[in-house]
Amino acid sequence: MTTPFQTLRDCLRYAVTRFNRAGLSFGHGSANALDEAAYLMLHTLRLPLDQLDPFLDARLLPDEIESLINVIERRTTQRMPAAYITNEAFLGHYSFYVDERVIVPRSFIAELIPELFQPWIDDPDAVSNVLELCTGSGCLAIMLAEAFPNAHLDAVDLSADALEVARRNVSQYHLQERVQLWQSDLYTALPARKYDLIVTNPPYVNEASMKKLPPEYLHEPRMALAGGDDGMDLVRKIVAGARERLTDKGVLVVEIGNEREHAEAAFPDLELTWLSTSAGDDAVFLLTADQLR
């Protein structure tokens, strides 16, 4: 392939222009065209992801330029999320393998895990059983396992394909002995076990919003996004089932994105505790076992 490009700077400028002209949507790890282009360039060239400047004016080999152009075109013409191109996604300081069998990891719960859900959990070291529903890639289960080192984790998903991805990530972090994966429709296939903590980032996008999603999101499994007319189809089942699954002092943590209005309408008799994240106070709610009883 003959191109006018010689350096990484040339390719980066071209990528940003292509992305902006195409009106790409971001939100799967990057917030803008420049950040996404830099990530894709550095990953493709196997360069450190946090060191762009030293390489900007390095001359590239013809095959390297061709590889970069191919990535730019795939991102632009197919509207493929960058994480599916690189098979890599980040959440906090964690890196996970991903492909189109799972949604790209993104969760405000990840911001709350280092705080160990205190003060609602009195003694994090005493947490012995944790359940994560709708685990997808297994990212939150892995983070929870490392945050609560004395806990056994059950991680559930209905999708066998998603669980294959989760299994790969659990193995990458050497947590096979502590994280057990279950193919289950929420609680149905689980043993009769009670949990100190239940965490879930379920499908919660309401149907009207599903119809307006940018093309990038249509590459993700619909079952991992769509939550029914008001987004609360699975959330209702999760809250109802938690009554029998939590220990006396257990807590349930549920992420619902932009659906606070629908969540409060779905549970008018429950006083939801809204946890603060970088998205504000509307994305994650908490309920205690006492409230559910």
**Which distant-in-sequence residues (6+ apart) come within 8 Å of 117 by Cβ?**
197, 251, 253, 286
Residue 70 tokens read as 């191919």
Cα–Cα distance, 99 to 272 (Å, whole number):
34
pLDDT average, residue stretch 260-277: 95
pLDDT of res. 82: 96
Residue-by-residue DSSP string for 130-167: EEEES-TTSHHHHHHHHHSTT-EEEEEES-HHHHHHHH
Question: What fold characterizes domain 101-292?
Answer: Rossmann fold (3.40.50)
The whole-number pLDDT of residue 279 equals 86
Whether the CB-CB separation of 76 and 100 falls below 8 Å is answered with no
Domain definitions of the chain by residue range? 8-86, 101-292
The third-level CATH classification (topology) of the domain covering 8-86 is: Helicase, Ruva Protein; domain 3 (1.10.8)
85-111 per-position pLDDT tens digit: 999 999 989 999 999 999 999 999 999
* Strands (DSSP E) found in the chain: 89-91, 94-96, 129-133, 152-157, 179-183, 195-200, 246-255, 273-277, 280-288
Say whether pLDDT at 55 is over 60.
yes
Q: What percent of the chain has pLDDT over 70?
A: 99
User: pLDDT tens digits for 9-29?
Assistant: 999 999 999 999 999 999 888
* Portion of the chain with pLDDT greater than 90, in percent: 95
Give 144's pLDDT tier (boundaries 50, 70, 90).
very high
Instruction: Identify which of 42, 76, 72, 73 has the alpha carbon closest to the alpha carbon of residue 60.
Output: 42
Residue 4, pLDDT score: 86
Q: What is the pLDDT of residue 1?
A: 52
pLDDT at 92: 87
Mean pLDDT of 65-76: 96
Q: What phi, psi does 170 have (nearest 5°)?
A: -60, -40
Task: Write down the mean pLDDT value for the chain.
Answer: 95
Amino acid at 30: S
**172-218 confidence digits (pLDDT tens):** 999 999 999 999 999 999 999 999 999 999 999 999 999 999 999 99
